[in-house]
Amino acid sequence: MIHNLEPSYTHPDNFCSVLQNNRTISMQTMPAMTALLAAHAFHDDTIPTFERVTATQIPSSWTKLLCGTSSMTIALSKCYGEEVALTLLGDDILVPEKILDRAVVLSGRQTKKPFALAGLRIHLERFAPHVRVRFVEAVIPFGKILQEEGISFTSEPACFFQTSSNALLSRELKISEGITLFGRMNDIKSNERIQIAEVVEILVEPQCFE
């Protein structure tokens, strides 16, 4: 049973320091999530190389969003001062595993400005039936649904990376090709420390209002 609590938050400098010093961080997430992006976002486009970086190598403009422990949806909404909308790029339900894989673009609901491209692997069986339906509908971002349903969670970066915008990233994020971008591979866990989702997030350089 997932308790109804607010998402937790750790100051970015503190959390990044912990990650920097933790030498047991697993890299198993990276191949699976890059394969998910290849299948549901890039399709026939070449997927760019993801180069792992340490927390201290992340530029300051990205740090607060990438090193926080709240959901990226909530963090982006606070950063840009508007609700976050999603555009579905592709999805698939893995029936035996009861898993929903999907790739989305997160953007401002009012401005339509793209903020991030994300791939998600959601463990459907760990949610109530009506919540599963909301995920499959792909109308509201994952983190916003968790917030609306009062589901407690923590966002725990498994690793950070940098990449370069190729044709697809340029098109979907409305940026030029060849721009360096930063992102993270992320575990979403319930209050009982049960993994409920895995996420890869590639961010446009944040320009927060706060």
Sequence letter at residue 150: G
Q: Which domains does the chain have, with CATH numbers?
A: 12-177+185-203 (3.40.1410.10)
CB 110 within 8 A of CB 95: no
Token pair for 141: 């971002």
Averages of pLDDT over each 10 residues, the chain, 210 residues: 35 40 44 82 84 92 88 93 96 92 96 96 96 96 95 89 93 95 93 92 88
pTM, entire model:
0.84
What is residue 45's predicted lDDT score, i.e. its pLDDT?
80
- Let me know if 135 is exposed, middle or buried by CB neighbors in 10 A (0-12, 13-18, 19+): buried
Token pair for 119: 């791939």
CA distance 22 to 159: 11
